[in-house]
A and B are shown apart, each in its own frame.
Chain A
């Protein structure tokens, strides 16, 4: 076993220790011993010892495997090849022990036994195997009903919150939508043919537990259009302290409905006279605060669906963006054809105009929102902006003049 005096210091403490866990595995697998040895070296030298990528994969796929090679293969021969396999996770990250053990059996046989539950995009990540193990490992996975996920300039494995499976706030079936879109885009997921990555995330409500607004090129966030449902008796129970704020998520024993709910409402569309909670629903902006505070008294309305937002990505390259509203409301019912069609329209326009490694949000900044909206046949709507422009530098197209001549006030795609 390699000596790891620096890493050994991460064995103690109350949070579960990855070093302790890896050491157990190192006793069985020489490559994990080498992994600890090389990591110790990085801790000493404050620098990585992994070489730049490398193209490896399974037959017929261009994604899902990330090549990884050590720059110290003589010292750590177990790390000569140490590739990553991304396994497309099930919606909501639900497993049975039987399924998870089967995955462990496959990975113990064909790889290092080291994994991430889960990766940043959502996949289950197998960390560390040799090139010749990739195809046999893939064969075992598919035989058990698993497939590998996306990487590179491809559709990435879509991911979702657990939605209606265990949450009363979910405004559509996130897990089914995620599953069906994943199935629909299998070709684009496994054969990179986009300008760059394209991520889909499905959140059931504006609390956005999977960070769709920040981490997905296309963000489907659940929302309702009608009135918040109120159980006035339960509101009284919160006011009286019989029910705890946020279902018990806080140290505060009792909800002060005026101070904690109605005064914190961002649109001040609520009032509380000590007996009845009133909501001016036409002016509610669906922030979720009041519902979060009183989960037993308030619920999203009945007319449910999602808002589609587009364009978020981390700072590389033009600076971080959050997704912005392009469709304020879409019904989300199986088989989700409207969403599939829109996704195809967007990815086709982006594939045609995008530069190498340009995210869709960056392309829209370069080409302009109008070019995008016209191409994907979406009308301009005020929900998509925080404020209209402050400058007078707007364009007029022949289509606007034609609309004017035809007696229509504005040109729209609809």
Chain B
């Protein structure tokens, strides 16, 4: 045990940088996007590096990872990286390798793109494949949506970049709350309290304290050593289930997908924005969730038709007004769209005459 190594942290990144990057670190002068998925960065010294970006399902196996390694060895001196949106980038120092690399990627069915005014890979979570609280699957919906929008991945045909993210429950590990289009799994049933399990598994005070709306109370029958839920106050966040496994809130039929739109994190032109509710509920329909795919495509097409040059989804909607967004996209406006949750709600109510009919 004396030799056990701990707390060393990750390896220093300098071990993994291609020589041209090491030599030109901090000296890059400009970049160009030669075609969708192919970036060229030029240093003050005139040195160049090409990056070829391809899609990845993020949920992969070592077999897939080893294939990426083989490609990197063949064309990139073994150098590759991953992006903040789970794409793979092959780092090409020798320009002559660019065309052969592109041919190899095409032959292996790895789509090239995800740059500029495209729809890049969907940031997403685990879903049914590895999580205990999801309302929806993640990888299956991502695959279905990206299959449908693949032409937007490989072209720069949109008015601006469109970032799609998916979180399989309200915990939002995918932090989708600032995305142009957010796919969010929602539960719609209060937790079913399993009294016999609860008394052995859960601490009652922390379970009660976990509820943001104060819906959980000690059970009036003290001998049960359990809790009750005021179902009218419950908005199905599942936070109690995180604290207490005897309070599952899943329902096979009532869980599903909500779509939120108009968020961004970049400061370009407008300040970062939250995504706002567009569609409160679409039923789960595996394996390909056609209603989700169709609704996203519909909103995307209305955006491409209506937006000005360089206008992000949220900027487009702010300009035309949300009432017009719902009209143009033919999405019904419901009670669920009006915020009634805590301190943010009032900020969303219209206090002017600046609206359209």
Q: Which of A39, A44, A166, A317 contacts B49 (CB 8 A)?
A: A166
Q: Specify which of B16, B41, B146, B153 lies most central, judged by the most chain A CB atoms within 10 Å of its CB.
A: B16
Residues of A within 8 A of B13 (CB): 90-92, 94, 165, 175, 179
Stretch at the interface among B215-223, B330-338, B339-347: B339-347
Asked if B295 lies at the interface with its beta carbon under 8 angstroms from chain A, I say no
- The answer to whether A120 touches B57, judged by C-beta atoms less than 8 angstroms apart, is no
CA distance A314 to B29 in the complex (A): 36
CA distance A61 to B58 in the complex (A): 27
Q: From residue 130 to 168 of chain A, which have CB atoms closer than 8 A to chain B? A: 139, 142-143, 145-147, 157, 159, 161-162, 164-168
> Smallest CB-CB separation from B267: which chain A residue?
A206
Q: Specify which of B144, B167, B309 lies most central, judged by the most chain A CB atoms within 10 Å of its CB.
A: B309
CA distance A206 to B270 in the complex (A): 11
CA distance A289 to B241 in the complex (A): 44
Q: From residue 57 to 92 of chain A, which have CB atoms closer than 8 A to chain B? A: 59-61, 68, 82, 84, 88-92
Asked if A100 lies at the interface with its beta carbon under 8 angstroms from chain B, I say yes
Range for the number of chain B residues in contact with chain A: 35 or more
Asked if A251 lies at the interface with its beta carbon under 8 angstroms from chain B, I say yes
- The answer to whether A93 touches B81, judged by C-beta atoms less than 8 angstroms apart, is yes
CA distance A246 to B34 in the complex (A): 11
Residues of B within 8 A of A317 (CB): 212, 237, 239
> Smallest CB-CB separation from A183: which chain B residue?
B9
Shortest C-beta distance, A251 to chain B (Å), equals: 5
Q: Which of A84, A146, A316 contacts B172 (CB 8 A)?
A: A316
Stretch at the interface among A107-115, A341-349, A371-379, A403-411: A107-115
**What's the dominant secondary structure at chain B's contact region?**
loop
Asked if A359 lies at the interface with its beta carbon under 8 angstroms from chain B, I say no
Q: Which of A32, A101, A293 contacts B66 (CB 8 A)?
A: A101
> Smallest CB-CB separation from A117: which chain B residue?
B82
> Smallest CB-CB separation from B76: which chain A residue?
A97
- The answer to whether A48 touches B133, judged by C-beta atoms less than 8 angstroms apart, is yes
Residues of B within 8 A of A264 (CB): 269, 310
Asked if B170 lies at the interface with its beta carbon under 8 angstroms from chain A, I say yes
Residues of B within 8 A of A82 (CB): 130
Asked if A51 lies at the interface with its beta carbon under 8 angstroms from chain B, I say yes
Residues of A within 8 A of B57 (CB): 15-18, 21
Q: Which of A113, A246, A260, A322 contacts B62 (CB 8 A)?
A: A113
- The answer to whether A248 touches B59, judged by C-beta atoms less than 8 angstroms apart, is no
- The answer to whether A115 touches B65, judged by C-beta atoms less than 8 angstroms apart, is yes
Q: From residue 1 to 37 of chain B, which have CB atoms closer than 8 A to chain A? A: 4-13, 15-17, 21, 25-26, 28-35
Q: A97-B73, A108-B62, A266-B269 are in contact. Are A186 and B7 (CB under 8 A)?
A: yes
Q: Specify which of B49, B69, B255 lies most central, judged by the most chain A CB atoms within 10 Å of its CB.
A: B69
Shortest C-beta distance, B345 to chain A (Å), equals: 9
Residues of A within 8 A of B83 (CB): 93
CA distance A286 to B150 in the complex (A): 33
Q: From residue 183 to 214 of chain A, which have CB atoms closer than 8 A to chain B? A: 183, 186-187, 189-190, 206-214
Asked if B103 lies at the interface with its beta carbon under 8 angstroms from chain A, I say no
- The answer to whether B250 touches A322, judged by C-beta atoms less than 8 angstroms apart, is no
Q: Which of B111, B123, B137, B284 contacts A15 (CB 8 A)?
A: B111
- The answer to whether A246 touches B171, judged by C-beta atoms less than 8 angstroms apart, is no
Residues of A within 8 A of B267 (CB): 206-208, 286-288
Q: Which of A43, A175, A266 contacts B128 (CB 8 A)?
A: A43
- The answer to whether A187 touches B62, judged by C-beta atoms less than 8 angstroms apart, is no
- The answer to whether A89 touches B10, judged by C-beta atoms less than 8 angstroms apart, is yes
Leading 3 A-B pairs by shortest Cβ distance: A249-B116, A13-B147, A314-B172
Supply 12 further A-B pairs (C-beta < 8 A) apart from A120-B125, A167-B41, A179-B13: A15-B111, A16-B55, A68-B130, A90-B10, A94-B80, A96-B72, A115-B61, A115-B65, A118-B82, A190-B7, A207-B266, A208-B265
A residues engaging B (CB < 8 A)? 6-7, 9-10, 13-19, 21-22, 24-25, 32, 35, 39, 42-53, 59-61, 68, 82, 84, 88-101, 103-104, 107-108, 113-118, 120, 127-128, 139, 142-143, 145-147, 157, 159, 161-162, 164-168, 170, 173, 175, 179, 182-183, 186-187, 189-190, 206-215, 244, 246-252, 259-260, 264, 266, 286-289, 292-293, 295-296, 314-320, 322, 355-357, 365
16 of the cross-chain contacts (CB-CB < 8 Å) are A7-B140, A10-B140, A18-B59, A39-B137, A93-B83, A94-B13, A104-B66, A113-B63, A114-B61, A117-B65, A186-B7, A314-B172, A314-B176, A317-B212, A318-B343, A355-B209
